[in-house]
Structure 1
Amino acid sequence: MNQLRKSFLLILIIMLTGCGIGSNGGLPFFNPPSQLPSPVAQITPAPDAQAAITAYLEALKNDDFTSMYAMLSKASKEAITEEEFTKRYKDALDNMSAASLEYEVLSSLVTPFSAESAFRVTYHTSLVGDIQREILMRLTNENGDWKVQWEDGLILPELAGGNQLAMDYSVPARGNIYDREGLPLVAQTDAFAFGIIPGQIFLDTEGTLVGELSRLCGFTAEGIRAEIASAGPDWYLGMCEGTREEASRLVALNPSGLVINSYNSRYYYGSGLASQVTGYTLSISPEQLDEYRRLGYRGDERVGQAGIEKAAEDYLAGKHGGKLYVVDPAGQIVTIIAESNPEPADSIYLTLNKNLQFYTEQVLQEFRGAVVVLERDTGRVLAMASSPGFDPNLFEATNPNNSILPDLLNDTRQPLVNRAAQGQYPLGSVFKIITFSAALESGLYEKNTEYDCQYEFKELPDRIMYDWTYDHCQDAVRRGEFCDDSSELPSGLLTLQEGLMRSCNPLFWHIGLDLYNFDRQTDIAKMARAFGLGSSTGMEQVAEDSGQILDPAGPVEATNQAIGQGDVLVTPLQVARFIAAVGNGGTIYRPQVIEKIQPVEGDPITTFKPEAQGTLPLRSENLAILQESLRWVVTGSGSKRGTAQFALRGLHVPVAGKTGTAESGSGEPHAWFAGYTMNQGNSGLPDIAIAVIVENIGEGSDYAAPIFQRVVDVYNSGTPQGLLWFESTYGVLDTPTPLGGIPRPTDKPARE
């Protein structure tokens, strides 16, 4: 056994010796390196602290408090909830009226587990100027992300320890709104609410009560009596509001049943004359509070919500002043950070003529529709009426008549919509002005190009279309009369100019189809856009819609477009603007409603200046042809009668224009008239352009043209020059329809 062990040991020694020495001179087969490798130190880099700081401050800049809170350290989140954190920032930013902020990271000291960074923040405030501070932010590394160690001093150093900001506001009185002559439309003053308690009315004074309130409030006597009859004896029926002088007059008359309550408020004269232009104010809503606090408002003010009240808010509100305090948790003042003095509000003078506005609203008040009156050669808005209108005084909570505000808000007639600038309607035959222009400019038509205007239009393969004279004839037949009047017989052979004068539908359908077939499919649409249709007028101070002008998709659409039907939608403001351009020689002016903005002292901040936006794309000779044709609409030509000739026969001022009757899709058609005066040389007054629409009533020559005449009369004479055929008194419809119905050019015998 021992011998075996010795033998095994000897063999092992020989084997080891053989592996260590080879034939290469005794060098080992595996030569180890002469030096050991240098050790490698693995260092985990700290995250980018400046990126974290920048992200936090960017979130602050954008009021993204949710993202800011997500960047807080665990300990900070345990110390303050997200709701409290958000409120802390919002309160501070609101109280200092921070409109915006800027920041700059100044320096950083970073270790693997913590960081400190200095940054400069500048709060641009609306009230007290810039507030700039240098602040130190501390961060901690949590699982590879930098988290902010939050404390109050990160808003402002003065807020450390739970201090807060408080602003003591100085609020100037709101500015007034006047017409162009300085007559008040809106002012802060003592106002008086008028109402009725039916059970207190004595029979012997009822007529006085109803008559005075009808005159003052613009209601019909019949309407007031109906409201009294349907009310309980103890009900309070709010009527309208008035001035101290108007209240004194009613008190002197002492009609029984009248209730008068005074209140101090922003008062809208005339129960809201030009209310669609002036707009109205409301208290700042909870949803608006943060926005207005940042603008320097205290939060309990009333601010503009529509019209001039909204568009000119910065001028009408004045500049608030204030002192920004730091207060401790007990509410004691610690220090004043900054302060500023208030600046008085400016007053707004509108381009409106108050007298013209009153009578324009009056003539329209029992219809639905709109009237726009522009100074033809400048774009000044002299009157803008929308019916039904509304009384902005009802929005005042201290007004006893505020109780009827829900009736206004729930009125299905939408009185808050400014039909003059926001109402979008088919234009009907007034659009033929544009088709006429496109025809002349195409080179395919001349002023003497002739067309035989009969009842029927058969140029489309699948339908027959009828002229308006055919409809008149059918009406006459239903009345048992002959079709022997110019409004009931086909117009016959007409030149292009006479076709516009007679408003021949078949001629303009033919033009639309003709241009379409001659590869001029978009000529009319392009002309309409060049006249300013299909886009807003740029008025700015009053909200407006753009209407619609589309390229025709086919021959049917082309024929409909040619007479202002189909997809055509326009606003009365757009129509007034382009008819003014036709009358003034082709210049399209931007409609403007502000005459000047006047501070308490010194020169106006801004004054009205005409602003040309472009020119009509008509050669001078074609514009002259168009102007002559529109004059014929009112005067006739030879033996042929213009469509407005009878309606405007009593007007002694030279005018030109175009009637329109637009199918509305339901009910009666809309009545249009658009025209302008040519009288400055005689009267010395600037010429005006007028667009009138009356919704769902009938023909333009029957309703819109007489309203046009009323506006021209008032502009030139100051008062109406006689009742219109549909009035019983000024502004009151004769109900039922006056004996004989709508006036016609001739008295005709009954059909046998």
Structure 2
Amino acid sequence: MKKIIAILLVVFIISACSNNQVPNPTQTSGLPTPEVNTVTVPDVAVTVNQFFELWNTSDYEGMYAMLAQTSKDAVSEEAFVTLYKDTAAALSLDEVNSGIVSTLVKPASATVGYQVNFKSNLYGDLSRSMEMTLVIENNVWKIQWHEGMILPELTGGNRLASNIQAPARGDINDRNGNTLVTQTQAVALGIIPDQVSWEYEPVLVDTLSGALNLPKNIIRDMYEGAGNNYVALGEITQAGYDARATTFDSYGGLVKNSYTARYYFNGGVAPQVLGYMSLIPAEEIDQYTRLGYARDAQIGRAGVELWGEKYLAGKPAADLYVVKPDGTYDTRLASIDPKAPDTINLTIDKDFQILVQKALYGFTGAIVVMEVDTGRILAMASSPYYDPNVMMQQNYNFQYAYNDIWNDETRPLINRALQGQYPLGSVFKLVTAAAALESGLYTPDSRYECTSQYTELSGFTGDDWTFTRGLPPSGDLNLLEGLMRSCNPWFYHLGYDLYQQKGPTYLSDMARGFGLGSATGIDVLLENAGSINDPTTDGAAVQMGIGQGDMLVTPIQVVDFIAAIANGGTMYKPQIIEKITSINGVVVQSFTPQIRSTLPVSQSTIAALQEGMRLVVEDERGTAHSSFIGMETPIYGKTGTATTSLEDPNSWFAGYTDMNNPDKPDIAIVVIAENAGDGSRYASRIFKRVVQDYILGAPATLYPWEFDFYLTVTPTQEGATQTP
């Protein structure tokens, strides 16, 4: 019975199903057909490598822009950038190189393993392996950042700190080993004039003169009219002060303050050559800390101090620590031992340099002295001078004198021997004469009537110096006598004739061949190139013939070609570094003469130039003859009086000695005294004193404007005969 019921039930169900209608396959339900869009996940490696590249270029702002929003909410851009900068500084970071080790990508996140190699200027290489997590935001991978992604040790708010102990800076010495700059204890000296007992003032000033190596009248000029105000006078070593303490401590008004710092002897021997030091400027702190300097370090800012930084600074002792948020030191990651600095010896002679500087007292200008057969600079003076000691903030006088140096309209920080650019005036006639002799148009015996005025060029009248001074003209002169008399009409004529017959670039090309208008390559010190332009008109050509018009040269360029005339045509590269030695005496670098070119003239032309320069001094008609009367040393030279936009012209004298003494190498000397006037009256006499200083170790004759050695009055042209 149960089986029958079951069979009937099955039949009923089948029957019910067979009565349902089958849907028409063309009918729809009325709902849209679902669309499937496939979204490609960006390449995570591209994002990570971009982040690494920004890190390597220190573009921390760009790195911050790649963070996930949650990370940006947790750290500000300023805090992010500061952390990376501080870490780079603590590491003394040179460069950072990162690379992907592994990747695990999911639809909405990724994990990337990477390795970072930090190359430190102090600590060498430091490597770490880390992971970063990235998330998709607006279909772009963004980085979920935390401090441990820089270094694992920084997790939890830790920071890096570098403890740096720099060694004492290396000395700068002269060629004989005499110290020019060192680290030592010193005393800043100043005066409050109204507190001085004037009955004892002569003794005090006399003692100050000896201590500071300054003439007494210059010291008095420094504090004249200062009343009850403090006036910085200078600095001496502590030992130098102690030797005079009895005198110094006996008088009121003299203010003494001790300090320890970089010390420049004699108030700066060749200060524009040595340069100066200062604290790292705020805008350069990041740069220098990454080089391994402490934030409060002092660095070379000019001259040899700047150029020789890598030698003079040495390498510090340093320790790299992980510092906890509470300021306690946790782990030392790296440590290095110090490396002693090197010592730099210059080619200059300290005692001679001091005398050369004194030879320029009362003038604005420059003197360069160079060995004719080597290019070795024996002295380089630029006036006015400055005291590099007052650039040191430890010095009490810093607060009184520092701003005065920077605000001085005479620009004492400029090295006029290298950076001063001037028209050469009649010294250029040596170049014009060389061009004439090489042209084939003239010989040393070619003659010209040196009248009072040049009138060959229509519309132009050029005065000779004899006309300006009311003297008779020089008359009929051969070419070498034209040099001797510095005859303007002769060289106006040559400038015009060479322009017409040899072309517009002929004379200017010769000038460039003499090294004018281009840097000499002294390298260690900044130099300007000057300019020698091709004349484009008859008038410009005429002016070039006498060294006027559109030309600018530097004293270092002039001394270089003068030395080449002296030695037969070889132009040496001027050099100021004698040697660099390690603390163990190992020579790191030493002086070697370097030939940079030769004068583009024949030996017969050089011999003619030499003869003309000898006549300038030796012949009674020579423009410098009166300056060298009684001097036994053979001198070859050329006067120059270069017109400027100011009332008084620049005073030039360029020349060389011809002693042939193995114990005293022959030297070329160039003197320029800005706006002083007549070259034969001023520059030639300064030249003479420099020669005396070199040979005798002291001056032998007074200047006409001195009433005692280095006790000067203001030079004046009254009663002078101006010759170019």
Q: TM-score, normalised by structure 1?
A: 0.88
Match of 1:311 among 307, 316, 324: 307
1:329 aligns with 2:286: no
Judge conservation of contact 2:215–2:710 (CA < 8 Å) in 1: no
Match of 1:446 in 2: 443
Q: Residues 243 and 115 from structure 1, CA distance in 2 versus in 1: closer, same or farther, beyond 3 angstroms? A: same
1:250 aligns with 2:264: no
1:361 aligns with 2:357: yes
The count of corresponding residues between Structure 1 and Structure 2 is 687
Letter paired with 2:676 = I
Match of 2:434 in 1: 437
Q: Residues 499 and 70 from structure 1, CA distance in 2 versus in 1: closer, same or farther, beyond 3 angstroms? A: same
Provide Cα deviations, 1:481-507, integer angstroms capped at 9, x if missing partner: xxxxxxx22121211222122111111
Judge conservation of contact 1:655–1:677 (CA < 8 Å) in 2: yes
Match of 2:26 in 1: none
In the alignment, the residues of structure 2 paired with residue 317 and residue 157 of structure 1 have an alpha-carbon distance, to the nearest angstrom, of 33
Provide Cα deviations, 1:535-590, integer angstroms capped at 9, x if missing partner: 21111111111111111121111111222211111111111111111111111111
Match of 1:156 among 141, 151, 155: 151
Match of 1:553 among 516, 536, 540: 536
Match of 1:170 among 148, 151, 165: 165
Match of 2:679 in 1: 700
How many Å apart are 1:141 and its aligned residue? 2.2
| SS of residue matched to 1:708 | helix
In the alignment, the residues of structure 2 paired with residue 744 and residue 500 of structure 1 have an alpha-carbon distance, to the nearest angstrom, of 16
Match of 2:658 among 663, 678, 681: 678
Match of 2:298 among 298, 302, 312: 302
Match of 1:19 in 2: none
| SS of residue matched to 2:551 | coil
Match of 2:184 in 1: 189
Judge conservation of contact 1:366–1:731 (CA < 8 Å) in 2: no
Match of 2:495 in 1: 512
In the alignment, the residues of structure 1 paired with residue 195 and residue 520 of structure 2 have an alpha-carbon distance, to the nearest angstrom, of 52
In the alignment, the residues of structure 2 paired with residue 138 and residue 691 of structure 1 have an alpha-carbon distance, to the nearest angstrom, of 70
Judge conservation of contact 1:170–1:341 (CA < 8 Å) in 2: no
Letter paired with 1:357 = Q
In the alignment, the residues of structure 1 paired with residue 722 and residue 455 of structure 2 have an alpha-carbon distance, to the nearest angstrom, of 30
Q: Residues 106 and 567 from structure 1, CA distance in 2 versus in 1: closer, same or farther, beyond 3 angstroms? A: farther
In the alignment, the residues of structure 1 paired with residue 556 and residue 456 of structure 2 have an alpha-carbon distance, to the nearest angstrom, of 34
In the alignment, the residues of structure 2 paired with residue 728 and residue 92 of structure 1 have an alpha-carbon distance, to the nearest angstrom, of 64
Judge conservation of contact 1:429–1:659 (CA < 8 Å) in 2: yes
Q: Residues 553 and 141 from structure 1, CA distance in 2 versus in 1: closer, same or farther, beyond 3 angstroms? A: farther
Judge conservation of contact 2:499–2:507 (CA < 8 Å) in 1: no
Judge conservation of contact 1:102–1:123 (CA < 8 Å) in 2: yes
Match of 1:217 among 212, 218, 231: 212
Match of 1:208 among 197, 203, 206: 203
RMSD of aligned alpha carbons: 2.1
In the alignment, the residues of structure 2 paired with residue 447 and residue 135 of structure 1 have an alpha-carbon distance, to the nearest angstrom, of 82
Q: Select between 324-333 and 243-252 the one with higher mean Cα deviation.
A: 243-252
Equivalent residues in 2 for 1:610-689, closer than 5 Å: 610-636=593-619, 641-681=621-661, 684-689=663-668
Q: Select between 203-212 and 412-421 the one with higher mean Cα deviation.
A: 203-212
Q: Select between 87-96 and 299-308 the one with higher mean Cα deviation.
A: 299-308
| SS of residue matched to 2:48 | helix
Judge conservation of contact 1:187–1:267 (CA < 8 Å) in 2: yes
Q: Residues 58 and 380 from structure 1, CA distance in 2 versus in 1: closer, same or farther, beyond 3 angstroms? A: same
Match of 1:391 in 2: 387
Match of 1:23 in 2: none
Judge conservation of contact 2:375–2:574 (CA < 8 Å) in 1: yes
Q: TM-score, normalised by structure 2?
A: 0.91
| SS of residue matched to 1:702 | helix
Equivalent residues in 2 for 1:578-589, closer than 5 Å: 578-589=561-572
Match of 2:711 in 1: 732
Match of 2:510 in 1: 527
How many Å apart are 1:394 and its aligned residue? 0.9
1:562 aligns with 2:562: no
How many Å apart are 1:97 and its aligned residue? 0.3
Letter paired with 2:500 = N
Judge conservation of contact 1:165–1:327 (CA < 8 Å) in 2: yes
Q: Select between 592-601 and 720-729 the one with higher mean Cα deviation.
A: 720-729
Letter paired with 1:722 = T
Match of 1:261 in 2: 257
1:471 aligns with 2:436: no
Q: Residues 737 and 553 from structure 1, CA distance in 2 versus in 1: closer, same or farther, beyond 3 angstroms? A: closer
Match of 1:498 in 2: 481
Letter paired with 1:717 = L
How many Å apart are 1:153 and its aligned residue? 1.9
In the alignment, the residues of structure 1 paired with residue 221 and residue 607 of structure 2 have an alpha-carbon distance, to the nearest angstrom, of 54
| SS of residue matched to 1:345 | coil
Judge conservation of contact 1:363–1:730 (CA < 8 Å) in 2: no
Match of 1:413 among 410, 421, 424: 410
How many Å apart are 1:458 and its aligned residue? 1.4
Match of 2:235 in 1: 241
Q: Residues 736 and 99 from structure 1, CA distance in 2 versus in 1: closer, same or farther, beyond 3 angstroms? A: closer
Q: Residues 742 and 468 from structure 1, CA distance in 2 versus in 1: closer, same or farther, beyond 3 angstroms? A: closer
1:121 aligns with 2:116: yes
Provide Cα deviations, 1:249-291, integer angstroms capped at 9, x if missing partner: 4323355233332221211100112111111110112112111
In the alignment, the residues of structure 2 paired with residue 617 and residue 608 of structure 1 have an alpha-carbon distance, to the nearest angstrom, of 26
Judge conservation of contact 2:123–2:335 (CA < 8 Å) in 1: yes
Match of 1:88 in 2: 83
Equivalent residues in 2 for 1:66-81, closer than 5 Å: 66-81=61-76
Provide Cα deviations, 1:403-458, integer angstroms capped at 9, x if missing partner: 23222222111111111111111110111111111222222222222111111111
Judge conservation of contact 1:725–1:743 (CA < 8 Å) in 2: no
In the alignment, the residues of structure 2 paired with residue 501 and residue 136 of structure 1 have an alpha-carbon distance, to the nearest angstrom, of 83
Judge conservation of contact 2:680–2:722 (CA < 8 Å) in 1: no
In the alignment, the residues of structure 2 paired with residue 190 and residue 263 of structure 1 have an alpha-carbon distance, to the nearest angstrom, of 6
In the alignment, the residues of structure 2 paired with residue 725 and residue 215 of structure 1 have an alpha-carbon distance, to the nearest angstrom, of 25
In the alignment, the residues of structure 2 paired with residue 604 and residue 113 of structure 1 have an alpha-carbon distance, to the nearest angstrom, of 63
Q: Select between 426-435 and 514-523 the one with higher mean Cα deviation.
A: 514-523
How many Å apart are 1:116 and its aligned residue? 2.9
In the alignment, the residues of structure 1 paired with residue 506 and residue 100 of structure 2 have an alpha-carbon distance, to the nearest angstrom, of 60
1:276 aligns with 2:259: no
Q: Residues 551 and 109 from structure 1, CA distance in 2 versus in 1: closer, same or farther, beyond 3 angstroms? A: farther
| SS of residue matched to 1:680 | coil
In the alignment, the residues of structure 1 paired with residue 644 and residue 100 of structure 2 have an alpha-carbon distance, to the nearest angstrom, of 64
Match of 2:94 among 86, 94, 99: 99
Judge conservation of contact 2:641–2:649 (CA < 8 Å) in 1: yes
Match of 1:479 in 2: none
In the alignment, the residues of structure 2 paired with residue 435 and residue 103 of structure 1 have an alpha-carbon distance, to the nearest angstrom, of 63
In the alignment, the residues of structure 1 paired with residue 580 and residue 218 of structure 2 have an alpha-carbon distance, to the nearest angstrom, of 40
Letter paired with 1:187 = T
Letter paired with 1:409 = W
In the alignment, the residues of structure 1 paired with residue 149 and residue 445 of structure 2 have an alpha-carbon distance, to the nearest angstrom, of 82
Q: Residues 216 and 553 from structure 1, CA distance in 2 versus in 1: closer, same or farther, beyond 3 angstroms? A: farther
Q: Select between 253-262 and 488-497 the one with higher mean Cα deviation.
A: 253-262
Letter paired with 2:618 = T
Gap runs ≥5 in structure 1:
1-38, 474-487, 746-752
Letter paired with 1:724 = Y
In the alignment, the residues of structure 1 paired with residue 220 and residue 659 of structure 2 have an alpha-carbon distance, to the nearest angstrom, of 44
How many Å apart are 1:221 and its aligned residue? 3.7
In the alignment, the residues of structure 1 paired with residue 504 and residue 231 of structure 2 have an alpha-carbon distance, to the nearest angstrom, of 59
In the alignment, the residues of structure 1 paired with residue 651 and residue 673 of structure 2 have an alpha-carbon distance, to the nearest angstrom, of 5
Judge conservation of contact 1:247–1:260 (CA < 8 Å) in 2: no
Q: Residues 519 and 602 from structure 1, CA distance in 2 versus in 1: closer, same or farther, beyond 3 angstroms? A: closer
Q: Residues 659 and 87 from structure 1, CA distance in 2 versus in 1: closer, same or farther, beyond 3 angstroms? A: same
